[in-house]
A = this chain, B = another copy of it.
Amino acid sequence: MERPTGVYFQTMTMKQIRERLKQCDLIIIPVGSTENHGPNAPTGEDTFLVTRMAEQVALKTGCTVAEPIWYGYHPYHHIGMPGTVPVKDEAFIDYLVSVIAGFWNTGFRKQILLNGHGQEFVIPIAIHKFAKIFQVPAIIINLNWYHAIQDKFKTKEEGGPYETPFIHADEVETSWSLALFPEFMHQEWAVDTEPKGFLPEGHIDKAGNLLHRPIAWYGHVGGGPIEVVAYPEGVVGKATLASAEKAKEGVEALLDYLEKLVRDIMERFPAGKLPPAEMLSQRPKEELEALTKEPLTEGWRNLYTAGNLWG
C-alpha cells in the first residue's frame, strides 16, 4: 500500500495515472472491513486478504489497485463486538457510490470491487445506485473472493483440505490469512469455539452461501446468537486447525481467476473502449459523448454535470 511500485492509485501522480489509463483503464477496489478476528489474527484481516490478492494480479496484468475501504458494513449479529467498526448502512453504500464515481470520472471506467468481508449483498446496491444516478456506460463488477473458487472450501469428507466448513476467523479464513499475510498472525494465541444455531441444521447456509442451502447466511436474524454474547473470542469455528498449506491451492486458483477476469475484460474492451453507450443508457447521445471523452480533452464534461451525487 506504501511502495512506489505503480500498483496503488494513491501512490501515483496524475502524470503516471494518465499514462496508466492509456494502457489499462481497469481498477481493482479492495473492499474490506475492520473486524475482530480473534486473539490470533489482525482486525484488518478482511482488508489484507483482498489487498494482497489485488496487488499480485495488478503486477501481472498492469491494472491499478485503489487503496482499500478499511471500514465496512456489518449484519446485526456483529454489532457491539469490540474490535469491529460497523459503518451505518446508507453511509457505506453512498461511500462506495462516491468512490466508484470518482474513479469513473478519472477515466477508470472498468472497476472490480474485490470484497473480502461478509457484505456481498450490500456492495451490489452501491454499484446499481451509481448506475441509476449517473446512467453512463461502465463495467463495474463486485467479486467476492470466496465466490471465485467455490469448490476450494471442501472438507476432508468431500475430498478437500479442511476439517470444518468456512464461517468466520476459523480454520478456513485463518488458513488464507497464514498464506497471504503471515507477518500479522499469531497462531500461538489461536482458540476454537463451537458454532451455535437456534434452528435445525440445513435451513441456513454458512459463509459465502457455499453449501447452497435455502436461506442465505445473512438472510435471517434470530437464527443464531449475536457474536458479542456467544463468541466473545471473535472466532466462530476452529482457528487452531488452520495452516497456510491448506489454503495454497485455493489462493492459486483465486489469483488465476482474478487474472483471467481482468484479461477477459481488457481483451474485449481495451483501454478507452466500453460496451455500446446506447445499450447502457438512454441519456442523449451528445451528452454521453461529452461524458465519455478522455478527461480534460476538448468537449469533455465531468461526470457530476450529468448525475447528482449530492441531491
Q: Can you identify 21 A-B contacts, CB atoms within 8 angstroms?
A: A2-B2, A3-B183, A9-B34, A10-B43, A71-B102, A80-B105, A84-B102, A85-B101, A86-B309, A91-B93, A95-B95, A120-B216, A129-B310, A131-B222, A133-B311, A139-B223, A142-B219, A198-B275, A226-B280, A229-B278, A282-B301
The distance in angstroms between the C-alpha atoms of A89 and B282, with both chains bound, is: 21
Contacts of A40 in B (CB 8 A): 13, 15
Q: Is the CB of A91 within 8 A of B89?
A: no
Contacts of A149 in B (CB 8 A): 214
A142: min CB distance to chain B, Å = 4
What copy number does this chain have within its complex? 3
Q: Is the CB of B148 within 8 A of A221?
A: no
A244 within 8 A of B: no
Which listed residue, B80, B229, B274, touches A222 by the CB 8 Å rule? B274
- Residues A127 and B221 in contact in the complex (CB < 8 Å), given A9-B34, A203-B264, A215-B147: yes
Contacts of A269 in B (CB 8 A): 198
The distance in angstroms between the C-alpha atoms of A44 and B67, with both chains bound, is: 9
Contacts of A88 in B (CB 8 A): 94-95, 97-98, 309-310
Task: Report which residue of A44, A137, A307 has the largest number of chain B beta carbons within 10 angstroms of its beta carbon.
Answer: A44
- Residues A279 and B229 in contact in the complex (CB < 8 Å), given A1-B1, A14-B234, A85-B99: yes
6 A-B pairs closest in CB distance: A311-B311, A10-B44, A85-B102, A80-B302, A91-B94, A76-B131
Q: Which of A119-157 contact B (CB under 8 A)?
A: 120-125, 127-133, 135, 137-144, 147-150
Q: Is the CB of B222 within 8 A of A143?
A: no
The distance in angstroms between the C-alpha atoms of A282 and B66, with both chains bound, is: 27
Which listed residue, B41, B221, B305, touches A282 by the CB 8 Å rule? B305
Q: Is the CB of B34 within 8 A of A14?
A: no
Q: Is the CB of B67 within 8 A of A85?
A: no
Interface size for chain A: under 10, 10 to 19, 20 to 34, or 35 or more residues? 35 or more
A237 within 8 A of B: no
Contact with B along A268-311 (1 / 0, CB 8 A): 11000011001111111000001000011000011111011111
- Residues A308 and B215 in contact in the complex (CB < 8 Å), given A34-B102, A183-B4, A184-B11: no
Contacts of A94 in B (CB 8 A): 87-88, 90-91
User: Nearest CB to that of A310 among chain B residues?
Assistant: B132
Q: Is the CB of A83 within 8 A of B17?
A: yes
A309: min CB distance to chain B, Å = 5
User: Nearest CB to that of A21 among chain B residues?
Assistant: B82
Which listed residue, B87, B147, B229, B280, touches A99 by the CB 8 Å rule? B87
